[in-house]
Amino acid sequence: MGNGNTGESRQEDISRDKERALLAEKDVVIMALKQEKERLSAELSALLNQMQSLEHFKTAADYFPHIIAFYDQQRRFVFVNSYAIKISGLSLDDFIGKRDEDVFPPKITNCYLPTLKKAIETLKPQSVECTLKFRTKRTLILSFSPMLDENGRLYSLLSNSFEITERKKAENELAQSELLFRKVWESSFDGMRLINKNGIIVKVNDAFCRMVGLKKEELEGKPFTKIYKSSHEELLRKAINRIATGTTVPRYVEKFDLWNGQSIWFEVSNNLLNVSNSSPMLLSIFRDISQRKLSEERLNRTINKLEESNRELEQFAYVASHDLQEPLRMVANYTQLLAKRYQNKLDETGKEFISFAVNGAIRMQSLIKDLLAYSRVTTKARPFEETDCNEVLKEVLLDLKFAVEESKAVIQYGRLPLILADRTQFRQLLQNLLSNSLKFRTEKAPEISITAESRDNEWLFKISDNGIGIDPQYFERIFMLFQRLHDSGTYPGTGIGLAICKKIVERHGGRMYVESAPGRGTAFYFTIAK
């Protein structure tokens, strides 16, 4: 009885041990499953994060203005961004799974493919500059960066390329500008010198070296006063101050006493240069005007001599004409008395001789009188004053009243201006021109017109008539002293009236000219400065 109970009890113990073992094993499995679940959840989360990061990278790469691409280990495209597609003019399908040489022709790949292969071979980043033509020509910097795993093995390749077309264009334009500047600098006949804010010569051209007799290496890096005979420390100080304050003299003419004893007249132009953030520099352009100065001095001496000679001639003409009048008057008077007293005792030949003598003396008196009038244009000139041309014309017409009535002339004129003039000489000018129109008339009654037109800085006067006219070949001659186109018997006068008119006009800062043709009347023009 007792042995039976013991067996049953042992069997129950074994069953309980098995049950406990199964429960323990179940707990271990549950724990293992729980841990695996957590691990898988973490990996899934990490994978989701990676996918999200990859999506963010792709989005960023698409908006980035660079050409971005990824290659696999076989150098096949696995990713290209939108900018690469836009630049190339291809689609995404044209890239993925293909190599560069499958996508682009050799004229494109030949430039960068060796650099790409070198990056793979060396496992180091490489870059190259290429000018490639896709749809348009573009200059790019192409960079290739190998992507390595923890064991240092290549698992991908990143290509990052950015465009420098505009920068390259700007660099080329800058290079062209620099080349042009160098050509202008070195080929200029004018001397050029660039000095810095301390008065030190930065650069000179060959022309400047020739002018001052020094080489570039003797000038560049030295104070600009090196070209002078003395040190000119005060001049250096002033120049430094002017560069600093921006008060340089734009242009001046000066005689330079050079280090070698030579003296040169220079016309100097200065330009203050402020380039970016650099200190200001002064560009000076030198033009050798020594020959011009010498010519000016000679010309001035000649002008002074001519002016002195003119003054002497005018004074001589005035004195001579004035002093000759009395003797001529005496000759004419006594010749006329001789003819009157002894007319019954002289034969026809004697009377003719006396007549010749009287007429000659009268003509000589007339010539001297006109010569005196010509010289007085300058020797007896009056200051300019405001002159009413209308009043002067009325006075002239009153003086010419008899000649106008006798010729039955019709004179038309409008409102004339106020001018600044020598009133007496302007009156003489109008009287001479109107007298000519009345004198040189045809069988028809004279028709004379007087007008004045306002120009920018002057008044243009015109006096025209319907007279006999002038052959154009004599236009210059008629303004010269004692030049007549007709004999004195047909048209009286000495031939000096128009010369006086021209001299009066020139004294008033104007010019005089004529338009005419034989039988078609004459128009005299003259200007008076405002």
Q: Does one domain contain both 393 and 481?
A: yes
Q: What is the CATH number of the domain that holds 470?
A: 3.30.565.10
| pLDDT tens series, the chain, 530 aa | 445 566 667 777 777 777 777 777 777 777 777 776 677 666 655 555 544 544 545 655 566 678 889 999 999 999 998 888 888 889 989 999 999 999 999 999 999 999 999 999 999 999 999 988 887 788 889 999 998 888 888 989 999 888 887 787 877 887 787 787 788 888 888 999 999 999 999 999 999 999 999 999 999 999 999 999 876 788 888 888 888 888 888 999 999 999 998 999 999 999 988 866 678 899 999 999 999 998 988 988 888 888 777 776 666 666 666 666 667 777 777 777 877 787 777 777 877 787 777 777 776 666 666 666 666 666 566 788 999 999 999 999 998 999 899 999 999 998 999 999 989 889 989 998 999 899 888 888 999 999 999 998 899 999 999 998 888 887 777 887 655 554 444 555 556 778 889 989 998 889 999 999 888 899 999 999 98
In-domain check, residue 4: no
Long-range contact list for 185-194, CB < 8 A, 24+ apart? 188/285, 190/285, 190/286, 190/287, 191/285, 191/286, 191/287, 191/288, 192/283, 192/284, 192/285, 192/286, 193/219, 193/224, 193/283, 193/284, 193/286, 194/273, 194/281, 194/282, 194/283, 194/284
Domain membership flag for residue 331? yes
Domain holding 341, by residue range, is: 295-361
484 DSSP assignment:
-
State whether 337 and 309 are in the same domain.
yes
Question: 439 and 321 in one domain?
Answer: no
97 & 42 share domain: no
Give yes or no for a contact between 422 and 384, defined as CB atoms under 8 angstroms apart: yes
Please state the domain count of the chain. 5
pTM: 0.41
CATH code, domain with 118: 3.30.450.20
Structural domain contains residue 236: yes
Are both 270 and 306 inside the same structural domain?
A: no
